Structure 1
Amino acid sequence: MTKFIIDNGAYSAKWGCSTDESPKLTPNYLTKSKNARETYVGSELDECKDFSGLFYQLPFQKGMLVNWDLERQVWNQIFKKSAIDLAQTQLIVTEPIFNFSHTQECLEELVFEELGLDGLIRINAPNLTAYKYLKNNSKDFCLVVDSGYSFTHIAPFYRGNIILEGIRRINMGGKHLTNYLKEIISYRQLMVMDETYVINQVKEELCYVSTDFELDMKIAKLKGKENRITRDYVLPDFANLCKGFAKSQQESTGIPLDSEQIIRLNNERFSIPELLFHPSDIGLNEMGISEAIVHSVESLSEEIRSDLYENIVLMGGNAKFSGFNQRVFNDVRCLIPSKYKLNVSTENDCLGCAWQGGKKLAENETEFNELIVSRKTYEEFGHSICKKKFDIIN
C-alpha cells in the first residue's frame, strides 16, 4: 500500500510518497498568460516563456479552500506526475486550522468518491510539524509559528495534541508583503501592479527581516558606499533574460547597463517584512508575530509556559527570510520575564517541514493506523467517522 502526503498550502502544494527523501513543490493555482490564450495548471507554469502580467486563479481565498474545480485540476496533475495507483494509496493531506465543515466534507468526497483512494488522514500543517519536532527532540510541549501565504498561525501543542485556547491567527502573510511591495515600487519607480510573479521573486531574493530596525533606517539614509543596504534588481525582458536577478552590493550603482531595466530597493528591503511584526503599519488592527506568541503562551496555564517558550518552532514561507529567527527571539525575549528560558528554532526546510512530519507519521505504523479512515469505513459511516477521528487531532 502506497502512503502519499500532500501539504496543501494556499500558494504551493508539497507532495510525494512517504518513501521519498523530500517533497516536490507544485504551484497551487492556475495562471493565464497576458494574452489569456494559454492557461497553466500548477507546475505547467515552468513552460511559460513570458511571466509578465500573469493572471492568477487560486483555489484558496484568505487561507480557505473555496474553489474545488481549480484544486481538482492541480491534484490531478500531482497524481498524474506521481504515477501511483490511487486505489492502492492512503493519503495524508493538510488543511487549515479551524477549517469549515463543508470544506472538509468536500475534501473527503474528492478523496474517496472521485479519486477512489484507499484511506485518508486529514490534519493541519502545524500539527505535523509539531509531531516531527516532539518525536525528534523527545519533548512534550512546543509552540509552532506557521507564517505562510495568507496568514500566520500560532499553535501550542502538548504530546501532539493542539491546545485550542492558545491558538492565535494573524491575517498577515506572504501575499500581503508582495502586494505592498508592488504598491511601493509602483508609487516610487515603475508601474508593476500587474507583475505579481516578478515582484514576488524580488521580495524573495532581496528582502530580509531587520534585527535592528532603527539602525538599518539610519544606514538606508546614507549615500554612496556607506549605504550597505541599497541593491539593484535587473528585471527580465522575456526575450534575452527570462528571469530577473539581484546585483551584488558593489554592482548596484543605480545606473542600468545597456538595455537593462532595474528596480532599486533601499529601506523597502527590510520595511516590507516588518509588516509581519507590525501589521498596523498598513492599517491592519492585528498583533505582530512576536506579540501574538506571548499572548498565546500567557493565555495558558503558568505551569506549561516555560516549556512552550523553550520550544518555539518556526515554519512556512516567511520563515525563510534572513533574520526572521533572530528577530522573533529578540522581540519575545524583551516581552517575557527573565525567569523563562527561550529557544526559537527554524526547520531546515521551512516549506517542507509539515510534509516531513507527515512522512514521519507514515513511518509509525501504530499511530498511522489509529488515525487512518479507510474507504470501506467511509462508505459505511460517511463524514461522521472522519469528523470523529480528525477533530481529535485538529
Structure 2
Amino acid sequence: MAPASTHRRTKSSGPAPPNRTLIIDNGAYTLKAGFSSPNTESPTPSIIPNCLARDREKKVYIGSQLSKCRDFGEIVFRRPVDKGYVVNWEAQKEIWEHEFFEDKAPLHCDPRDTGLILTEAPNALPQLQTNCDQMVFEEFGFASYYRCTAPSLNAYNDIQAIFPVPPRAEPQPQPQLPAEILLLIDSGYSHTTITPLLLGKPLQAAVRRLDVGGKLMTNYLTRLLSLRQYDMRSDTYLVNEIKEATCYVSKDFTGDMARTWKGPKGDRRPDYGTSGGIAKDYILPDYHNRSQGYVRDHDPTAAGKLKALTAGKSADAAEDIVTLRNERFSVPELLFNPPDIGIRQSGIAQMVIESLSQVPFGLWPGFLANIIVVGGNANIEGFVSRLELEIRALAPAECIVRVGKPADPIVSTWQGGAVLAKDVDVLSKLSVTKLEYEEYGAGWVARKFGGR
C-alpha cells in the first residue's frame, strides 16, 4: 500500500488552490465582478448596480434587475456602501446572493471551490474589516479569500502602456508586475483617494482622502437645478444622468464664469443665450415616449411643455428641458476647490503634494511620473488634463509630471485583480484559506491582510 502522504496533502502544504477566482470590486455605486483563472484570456467584468431600488409602483429591483426598470421618477435607492465602506451587510448579502449564488445568476458560482478577491477602501475601520472576513468565510464559505485596497490592484496592470511613448523597433520586455512605483488617484462615487504604491503595497502614512465624489457632485447639481429650474430632489438618478452627460472640468474657470454671466438686472448680455457655446439643453425623459434623456445645443427659442400646449401643439410634441450653463463646470470644480461649498479640505492637486510630503523626496520623481487616475470621475471631460496642469504647477520644476487614465477607468481595478488571479503562486501567498481562518481565527487574518 502506498504511503498515506501520497494520497492527500499534508497540513503544511494546505488544500489545492481553487479552480477559478471571483474578483469583486465592491464600489459604492456599482459592483465590477467576474471570474479569472490561469486558463482564461482577457476576461471582462459585469458592471452591476450595487443597490436595492424601489420605484413609484413599489416594485423592488435587486442589483442587475435595475436594467428592467422603465420609470426612474421618484425611485428610491438603498445602498449597502456608505462613504466607501460596507456598513449594511444585510443589503450587501441580498445583492451578492442574487448575482452570484442563485441558480440562474449570470455569475453563478459555488463558493466552496471558488477563490475571492475583494476590494475595500483604504484605511477601513478594523471592525468593518472583521465583519467582512466573517461574512466571506462563515456566511458564504469561500475556499480562499484576499481582501485588499482597491488602489493596490491597479499595480498589476501594464501602467506604462497608458502613457504615450514613441514607437521602438526592438521588442519591449514584459512589464514588471506589480508596478514598482505608482501614484493612484481613485475618484469614485463616495470619495477620492490618493494612494502611493511601492511594489503594489500602499504607503499608509501617505494615503489621503478627499470627501468629494460622484454622490456629492450629484447632490450639489440637484440643489442647483432645484433652485433655478425644476424641483428634482426626488430624481437624483436622473440628475446623475444629467451630470454624466453634460458636466466638464474647465481649464479657465474664471473665463467660463464670465461667459455664462447673465449681466446686470434689466440689461442682459447679448451672448448670454448660448454663453459662448457652453449652454446645453438636456431633454428630460417622459417615461412614455422616451425612457432616456439626451443633450443638444441650447436653443433660446425652445420652450417647455406649457408653452407648447399654449401654442396649440400636441402634448406628445412638447418637451421638458433643463438648460445648463455654469452648472456644467462649477459642479466638477469641487474636486479642485472644495472650499467653494464650505468643505474644509484641500483640492485634489494640493492633496497629491500633501501625500508626497510623507514619502522620501528621492521617490517624488517616480511617483510624479506615474500618476494614474481611475474611477467614474476620471471620465469627466477635461479632468485629467486639468489635474496634470495643476500638479505640474505645484511640483518641483526638475520633476516630470505625467497623469494618465486607462482606456476604461471604471473597470481598471477589476482588470488588475484579474491579472493577479492568473498568477496562482503569488495569489496563494496573499490569500487566506477557509481552513486557515477556522484554525487561526479572524485576528490572524486581519494581521496577515494588514501586512504584519
The TM-score range, normalised by the shorter chain, is over 0.9
2:11 aligns with: none
Query: Partner amino acid for 1:154?
Result: I
Query: Partner amino acid for 1:12?
Result: T
Q: Structure 1 regions of 5+ residues with no counterpart?
A: none
Task: Give a deviation string over 1:129-176, Cα, whole Å, max 9, x none.
Answer: 123245975452111001111111101011111111211111111000
Residue of structure 1 aligned with 2:287, choices 233, 238, 242: 238
1:288 aligns with: 347
CA distance in 1, matches of 2:348, 2:47: 26
Q: Which has the larger radius of gyration?
A: 2
Residue of structure 2 aligned with 1:223, choices 254, 267, 272: 272
Q: Structure 2 regions of 5+ residues with no counterpart?
A: 1-18, 162-174, 262-270, 309-316
1:255 aligns with: 303
Please state how far the C-alpha of 1:56 moved relative to its aligned partner: 1.2
Residue of structure 2 aligned with 1:161, choices 188, 201, 204: 201
| Contact 1:232–1:252 (Cα < 8 Å) also in 2 | no
| Contact 1:235–1:261 (Cα < 8 Å) also in 2 | yes
How many percent of aligned residue pairs carry the same amino acid?
36
Task: Give a deviation string over 1:326-353, Cα, whole Å, max 9, x none.
Answer: 0100111111221111100111111101
1:274 aligns with: 333
Residue of structure 1 aligned with 2:430, choices 366, 371, 375: 371
1:329 aligns with: 388
Please state how far the C-alpha of 1:226 moved relative to its aligned partner: 6.0
CA distance in 2, matches of 1:24, 1:208: 27
CA distance in 1, matches of 2:24, 2:344: 33
| Contact 2:283–2:295 (Cα < 8 Å) also in 1 | yes
Are 1:97 and 2:122 matched, yes or no? yes
Query: Partner amino acid for 2:408?
Result: D
1:389 aligns with: 448
CA distance in 2, matches of 1:196, 1:317: 17
Moved more, 167-176 or 75-84: 75-84
| Contact 2:279–2:323 (Cα < 8 Å) also in 1 | yes
Please state how far the C-alpha of 1:115 moved relative to its aligned partner: 1.4
Task: Give a deviation string over 1:226-275, Cα, whole Å, max 9, x none.
Answer: 6211000011111111111112x276754347321010001110110000
Task: Give a deviation string over 1:260-296, Cα, whole Å, max 9, x none.
Answer: 1010001110110000111111111011111101111
Please state how far the C-alpha of 1:220 moved relative to its aligned partner: 2.4
Moved more, 250-259 or 156-165: 250-259
1:206 aligns with: 246
| Contact 1:134–1:159 (Cα < 8 Å) also in 2 | no
- Give the alignment's TM-score, normalised by structure 1: 0.95
Moved more, 380-389 or 147-156: 380-389
CA distance in 2, matches of 1:253, 1:127: 52
Aligned length: 391
CA distance in 2, matches of 1:130, 1:213: 33
1:121 aligns with: 146
CA distance in 1, matches of 2:134, 2:243: 38
Query: Partner amino acid for 1:57?
Result: R
2:15 aligns with: none
Distance 1:144 1:133, change over 3 A: farther
| Contact 2:275–2:325 (Cα < 8 Å) also in 1 | no
Matches within 5 A, 1:48-67: 48-67=69-88
**What SS does the aligned partner of 1:392 have?**
coil
CA distance in 1, matches of 2:226, 2:437: 52
